């Protein structure tokens, strides 16, 4: 498992998110682990997951029924 600082994550988000697909990354701030970045374990590629998410957000905004809490919950829970 890799440990990086919060600043490193901020500066190089794309790199570390890509790295997290194959393993976990611990995020450290002020000498403490504050988060762990873990890739999806659902058998789908990042691109497939992202396209589904974008389609869900577009569907909601197209009908004018924009309530982000429910969209985010559905996205997170796979519903």
pLDDT per position as a tens digit, 9-22: 999 998 988 888 78
Q: Which comes out higher in pLDDT, residue 27 or 60?
A: 27
Residue spans of the domains in the chain: they are: 2-37, 46-77
Whole-prediction pTM value?
0.50
Contacts of 34 (CB under 8 A, 6+ apart): 6, 27, 28
Average of per-residue pLDDT across 34-57: 80
Q: Whose structure tokens read 């996205």?
A: 75
């Amino acid at each position: 498992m890799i440990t990086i600082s919060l600043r490193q994550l901020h500066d190089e988000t794309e790199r570390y998110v890509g790295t997290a697909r194959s393993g976990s990354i611990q995020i450290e701030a002020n000498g403490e682990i504050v988060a762990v970045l873990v890739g999806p374990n659902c058998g789908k590629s990042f691109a497939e997951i992202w396209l589904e998410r974008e389609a869900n957000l577009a569907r909601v905004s197209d009908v004018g029924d924009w309530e982000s809490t429910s969209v985010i919950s559905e996205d997170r829970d796979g519903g």
